[in-house]
């Protein structure tokens, strides 16, 4: 086939123009259209990808997302609790460094199996930018949420009730209630400020790191391990920035992973549900903004995985 196409190109070049195509009958045109449809499925069919529901491969890959997210929640929430408990003057620096390390390790472990999403933020962005189908993304997000619950349950099983209560099981919080001179006092961050932090940090996370994994050219040039290290490092830096720029007790920093926030909220409940929607709305808005950004890039400069 390649030889034939090259030959056709030579003939066209020799005569300085395109060859005249023979007239096709209506039946021939219909047959050609049917063949083209078979070879090139409709755009919506590709985008939605309903066939992934019945794909054993996709469901097996989602198991890596489930286990990866479970380990992530267990490890990250443990890091949050231990960092706050330490006597160091910069617990947020310790926490962000450990977050970068554990994220890198888990990405390297899950990338060969499922692509290493372990985060609804990444899966939703992948669907909006055409990297994966919406059905596969939905299956991944479901697995990630279940994994987040399992991780929170595992952590609650190994810590004391006092630690689980005092540190909100390491979950995502905007505010906490603490004893005050005149009774309980609520301290934390305002909804508007927290939402903006979630949107900005999520967009920076996608723009500065995840896009390298989406871009086949950069991913191949840098290598899998390097890309995972960059993603882990950027995420750790964003955790540090979000906790430092506010310096507000009661605010646990940008969630940057709705599944991680959902697990402790379902297991512990209480104030963890207070404005929990922020940890979902912020990343969702950031994903839409990031998808719009990718659409503005000239097609000749876009090197996404097809």
Residue 115 falls within a domain, yes or no?
yes
Residue 292's pLDDT band (boundaries 50, 70, 90)? very high
- pLDDT one-digit tens code per residue, 269-283: 888 898 999 999 999
Give the per-residue pLDDT at 42: 61
Residue 159 falls within a domain, yes or no?
yes
- pLDDT one-digit tens code per residue, 249-263: 878 889 999 999 999
Residue 14's pLDDT band (boundaries 50, 70, 90)? very low
Reported for 240-244, long-range contacts at CB under 8 A and 24+ positions apart, including other chains, are: 240/92, 240/93, 240/95, 240/96, 241/201, 242/197, 242/201, 243/92, 243/95, 243/96, 244/92
Tell me what the mean pLDDT of segment 158-177 comes to: 85
Give the per-residue pLDDT at 244: 87
Full domain range(s) for residue 196: 51-296
DSSP 167: T
Residue 206 falls within a domain, yes or no?
yes
Residue 301 falls within a domain, yes or no?
no
| 141 vs 66: CA distance, rounded Å | 9
Q: Tell me the CATH number at 57.
A: 1.20.1080.10
Give the per-residue pLDDT at 213: 85
**pLDDT > 70 in the chain, percent:** 80
Tell me what the mean pLDDT of segment 117-136 comes to: 94
Reported for 236-242, long-range contacts at CB under 8 A and 24+ positions apart, including other chains, are: 236/96, 236/97, 236/98, 236/99, 236/100, 236/101, 236/103, 237/96, 237/100, 238/201, 238/204, 238/205, 239/92, 239/95, 239/96, 239/99, 240/92, 240/93, 240/95, 240/96, 241/201, 242/197, 242/201
Residue 177's pLDDT band (boundaries 50, 70, 90)? low
Burial class (CB in 10 A: 0-12, 13-18, 19+), 144: buried
Residue 180: its H or E element: strand 175-180
Give the per-residue pLDDT at 100: 95
Number of domains in the chain: 1
The more confident residue out of 2 and 127 is 127
| 260 vs 233: CA distance, rounded Å | 18
Give the per-residue pLDDT at 161: 87
Asked whether the whole model's pTM tops 0.85, one would answer no
Lowest mean pLDDT among 144-153, 176-185, 239-248, 274-283: 176-185
Average pLDDT, rounded, for the chain: 83
pLDDT above 60 for 104: yes
Residue 164 falls within a domain, yes or no?
yes
| 95 vs 140: CA distance, rounded Å | 27
Lowest mean pLDDT among 62-76, 167-181, 241-255: 167-181
* Cβ atoms 262, 124 nearer than 8 A: no
Give the per-residue pLDDT at 269: 87
Residue 17 falls within a domain, yes or no?
no
Q: How many CA atoms lie within 13 A of 77 on its CB side?
A: 38
Give the per-residue pLDDT at 210: 87
DSSP 185: E
Q: Which residues on neighbouring strands pair with residue 178, listed in sequence order?
A: 185
* Cβ atoms 105, 118 nearer than 8 A: no
Residue 38 falls within a domain, yes or no?
no
| 122 vs 29: CA distance, rounded Å | 42
Residue 35 falls within a domain, yes or no?
no
| 239 vs 186: CA distance, rounded Å | 23
Residue among 275, 280, 237, 246 at smallest CA distance from 260: 280
């Amino acid at each position: 086939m390649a030889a034939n196409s090259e030959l056709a190109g030579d003939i066209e070049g020799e005569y300085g123009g395109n060859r005249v195509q023979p007239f096709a009958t209506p039946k021939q045109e219909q047959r050609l259209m049917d063949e083209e449809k078979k070879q090139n499925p409709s755009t919506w069919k590709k985008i939605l990808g309903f066939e992934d529901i019945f794909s054993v491969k996709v469901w097996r890959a989602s198991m890596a997302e489930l286990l990866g997210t479970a380990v992530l929640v267990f490890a990250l929430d443990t890091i949050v609790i231990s960092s706050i408990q330490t006597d160091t003057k910069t617990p947020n620096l310790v926490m962000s460094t450990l977050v970068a390390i554990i994220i890198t390790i888990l990405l390297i472990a899950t990338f060969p199996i499922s692509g290493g999403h372990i985060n609804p933020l990444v899966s939703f962005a992948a669907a909006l930018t055409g990297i994966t189908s919406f059905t596969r993304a939905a299956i991944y997000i479901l697995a990630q949420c279940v994994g987040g619950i399992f991780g929170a349950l595992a952590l609650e099983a190994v810590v004391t009730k006092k630690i689980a209560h005092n540190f909100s099981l390491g979950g995502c919080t905007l505010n906490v209630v603490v004893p005050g001179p005149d009774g309980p006092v609520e301290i934390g961050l305002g909804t508007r400020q927290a939402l903006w932090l979630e949107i900005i940090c999520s967009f920076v996370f996608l723009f500065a790191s995840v896009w390298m994994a989406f871009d086949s050219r950069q991913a191949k040039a840098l290598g899998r391990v390097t890309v995972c290290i960059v993603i882990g490092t950027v995420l750790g830096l964003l955790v540090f920035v979000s906790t430092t720029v506010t310096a507000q007790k009661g605010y646990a920093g940008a969630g940057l992973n709705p599944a991680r926030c959902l697990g402790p909220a379902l297991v512990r409940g209480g104030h963890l549900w207070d404005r929990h929607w922020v940890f979902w709305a912020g990343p969702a808005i950031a994903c839409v903004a990031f998808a719009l950004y990718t659409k503005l890039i000239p097609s000749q400069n876009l090197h996404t995985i097809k």
